[in-house]
Amino acid sequence: MKMMKMNFYFALQLLLIAIAGYTQNQNLSAKFNTGMSFSKPGGDLGEVATKGKAMQLFATAEAGYHINYFKKKNFGVRLAGVAGIDYANFLANDRSTELKVSVPNLRARIYPFANNGNWDEELEKVLPEGLPFLIEIPVWIGIYSCFNSLHFDYGVGFGKILETDYAETGFQDQTVNRTMKFFGWGLQPQIYHSESGKWIVNAVFDFGKYSWTNANQGTSSFRSNHVGFGFQYNF
């Protein structure tokens, strides 16, 4: 019942964002990201397991709605609902078994310094003038990454952990399902912006952690860091 309530909450959030975007004219966006996930076990899980296959797939779909801080400015906050899938792989410390982890997840995301217009034109309005060339470049990169893509995530994952034989010892497969909490942050800087402003291509550098309570009331976790790319469409 608790899981059903969480699913309903996030589905309702996505619906409200979509309705708000369509009724407020061109503030709605849709984004899809994919790439490689790198994971490291922690907590109780980290005591008995270590990293397995380093690179695993991730994918996320996002619906966002932008709200300007001021009426005549394009800077504001973007609120988003995210649905995704994460994979992780770990090995028992004695290399006898392998843990294959899949985590469908739902997240609430906030971009506190989002820009809803042409980012380079907006940045020219706030950058100090007369900077030396070698200083100007990192200033541009820093402001650009922060204003357009810094975000924070909080959500829930529905993890399936399959423990299977790795050293051919005859171990019988065991599956455990866990509801996991997720918290993370990241940068998704733009690498392409169409002249129409409708299409954006972005890189992905996201960092987060899943955590959950074990049957013995201990706590396990694993870090899930993403590197990849994505594209966004602005309605």
What does the pLDDT look like over 118-157, one tens digit per residue? Answer: 655 656 665 666 666 665 666 666 666 667 799 999 999 9
**Rounded distance between C-alpha atoms, residue 71 and residue 139, angstroms:** 26
Q: Among residues 210, 163, 157, which one has the least CA distance to residue 179?
A: 157
What secondary structure letter does DSSP report for 136? H
Q: C-alpha distances in angstroms, 47 versus 157, 179, 188?
A: 22, 20, 33
Residue ranges of E strands in the chain? 28-42, 49-51, 55-68, 75-92, 97-115, 151-165, 174-187, 190-193, 199-213, 219-234
pTM, two decimals, is 0.82
> What's the pLDDT tens digit per position in 71-121?
777 778 999 999 999 999 999 999 999 999 999 999 999 999 887 766 556
Q: Structural domain boundaries of the chain?
A: 2-234
Instruction: Check whether 33 has a pLDDT greater than 80.
Output: yes
> What's the pLDDT tens digit per position in 193-208?
888 878 999 999 999 9
The CATH T-level fold of domain 2-234 is Porin (2.40.160)
**Rounded distance between C-alpha atoms, residue 25 and residue 142, angstroms:** 30
